[in-house]
Homo-oligomer: A and B are copies of this chain.
Amino acid sequence: MGDMGGYRGPSLGVLQEAGVQVGDVVELDVGGELVKGTVVPRYQYNDDSHLVIKLKSGYNVGISVSRISSVKRVSAGERPAFVSQAPKPRSDLPEVAILGTGGTIASRVDYRTGAVHPAISSEDLYSLMPELSDIAVVKPEIVLTVYSENLEPGDWQKIAEKVSEAVSRGVRGVVVTTGTDTMGYTAAALSFALRGIPVPVFVVGSQRSSDRPSSDAYLNLIGAVSMAVSADLSGVYLSMHADTSDDRLAVHRGTRVRKNHTSARDAFQSIGVDPVAFWTRSGIESIATDAPKRGKGGFVAEPRFEQDVALVKFYPSMSTASLEAMAQKGLKGLIIEGSGLGHLNRKNIPTIKRLMDSGGVVCMTTQCIWGRVDMNVYDTGRDLLSAGVIPLEDMLAETALTKLMWVLANSRSPDEAKELMLKNLVGETTERSQQSRAS
């Protein structure tokens, strides 16, 4: 058997039945219309129900196998190089902005070199994911090309500004693609910067390189675009595979989600709450009743972040060197990921006090992931509280970091900042009764 160029499932079946290999010229009967062209390899976004045919014009078209009533092999051919042309979008569909930041999801593999290139035009995207052209007029834009571990608060600002621009020109929804390493942090950061946004923003990525057969990229992007068009939601969400099968996405609140597995498709989990909704090809389901609906009217992004904020995870015997160094450099904010209910070792408390005396805002979260801090139970907690450390309830440490960065850039005094840190702005803390796991 020859190289089948990444085809699988029903689309592979159609090719095999007709004795067709990638590179062959074929003639298809598509609902009575004859389409002639060359079968193009599909190494990346493995939708299994479309053939991609390069027409004589040079355009690539994606054709659903359900519409193909016959396949005739006309001649053997050279396997063509990847060409990024695709059918024209249907102008009657709503517009969705896709903002790329450098993750693997909006990339494609050059068939000859194996190199990964960002997919930069709508044509590229339609070619990679023919289904998209039936859902929306997508307007892709590469905002950044940065591995997500190198993203900085200034990059979040840039993304937030681009989202805001898209909303101003009336898009139906926005999809942000990014690397999964820090996707939880990015979703949280955008949640604060885009507070009050009237449409939904879906942050998506891919856990598997898009040139691997098990890539989750396709479903994640199709689902996000589909929800950007039709879901009655506003605000920032992270939407990724709900389980290890390739048919359901979970929609997580941007402030309550964490990457809990290095490599699994369902690496992202809502913490302390249920996902806001689920998505399958049949549509969106189980939308939480308290999820904000689409809105209208004025929206102004607040995209700035204070960079000089640190996150420190406490561990037994943690020396004072690290905090001292940061305090001496005039750190403006500190999130402590304490042990248990919100503790750290006694020897670091004087440094924390000095940091606060010089105007720094210090907050406590927990390294347990689940549950909430309670600093009234033990001496250490009470000492930290009375020194002025702010207990952040069940806020995730990662969310707390982005919130403190945002709060410090958008408040006029440490006191106002403290007040904002204790206020639930975009679902970043839950009520005790709301939690899905007993605490």
Contact B325 A321 (CB under 8 A): yes
Contact A337 B313 (CB under 8 A): yes
Contact A150 B345 (CB under 8 A): yes
Which of A41-49, A259-267, A354-362, A423-431 participates in binding chain B?
A259-267
Contact A318 B322 (CB under 8 A): no
Distance from A403 Cβ to chain B, minimum over Cβ atoms (Å): 13
Q: With A321-B329, A326-B322, A343-B147 known to touch, is A370 a contact of B182 (CB < 8 Å)?
A: no
Contact A149 B262 (CB under 8 A): no
A29 interfacial by beta-carbon distance below 8 Å: no
Measured CA separation A101–B147 after assembly (Å): 45
Distance from A300 Cβ to chain B, minimum over Cβ atoms (Å): 24
Give the contacts of A240-280 with B (CB-CB under 8 A): 244, 259-264, 267
Distance from A187 Cβ to chain B, minimum over Cβ atoms (Å): 12
Measured CA separation A181–B371 after assembly (Å): 13
Residues of B contacting A373 in the complex (Cβ-Cβ under 8 angstroms) = 262
**Binary B-proximity of A324-344 (CB < 8 A = 1, otherwise 0):** 111001000000011111111
A346 interfacial by beta-carbon distance below 8 Å: yes
Q: With A325-B321, A329-B321 known to touch, is A147 a contact of B380 (CB < 8 Å)?
A: yes
**Binary B-proximity of A377-398 (CB < 8 A = 1, otherwise 0):** 1111000000000000000001
Measured CA separation A261–B324 after assembly (Å): 29
Residues of B contacting A326 in the complex (Cβ-Cβ under 8 angstroms) = 319, 321-322, 325
Q: With A182-B316, A370-B260 known to touch, is A149 a contact of B340 (CB < 8 Å)?
A: yes
Contact B149 A345 (CB under 8 A): yes
Contact A380 B263 (CB under 8 A): no
Residues of B contacting A234 in the complex (Cβ-Cβ under 8 angstroms) = none
Contact B321 A371 (CB under 8 A): no
Q: What is the total number of copies of this protein in its complex?
A: 2
Interface size of A in residues (CB-CB distance below 8 Å): 68
Q: With A324-B325, A346-B150, A377-B209 known to touch, is A439 a contact of B262 (CB < 8 Å)?
A: yes
A299 interfacial by beta-carbon distance below 8 Å: no
Contact A147 B379 (CB under 8 A): yes
Closest to A185 in B: B316
Contact A316 B149 (CB under 8 A): yes
Residues of B contacting A261 in the complex (Cβ-Cβ under 8 angstroms) = 368-371, 437, 439
Measured CA separation A439–B264 after assembly (Å): 5
A374 interfacial by beta-carbon distance below 8 Å: yes
Measured CA separation A373–B261 after assembly (Å): 10
A264: contacting residue among B260, B307, B367, B371, CB under 8 A: B371
A59 interfacial by beta-carbon distance below 8 Å: no
Contact A267 B322 (CB under 8 A): no
Q: With A369-B369, A371-B261 known to touch, is A378 a contact of B325 (CB < 8 Å)?
A: no
Give the contacts of A148-175 with B (CB-CB under 8 A): 148-153
A244: contacting residue among B149, B371, B438, CB under 8 A: B438
Measured CA separation A135–B8 after assembly (Å): 62
Closest to A377 in B: B209
Measured CA separation A339–B326 after assembly (Å): 22
A341: contacting residue among B262, B322, B398, CB under 8 A: B262
Measured CA separation A61–B92 after assembly (Å): 84
Contact B149 A343 (CB under 8 A): yes
| Given A181-B340, A264-B437, A322-B322, 8 additional A-B pairs, CB 8 A | A149-B338, A152-B316, A185-B315, A262-B340, A262-B366, A262-B372, A322-B326, A325-B325
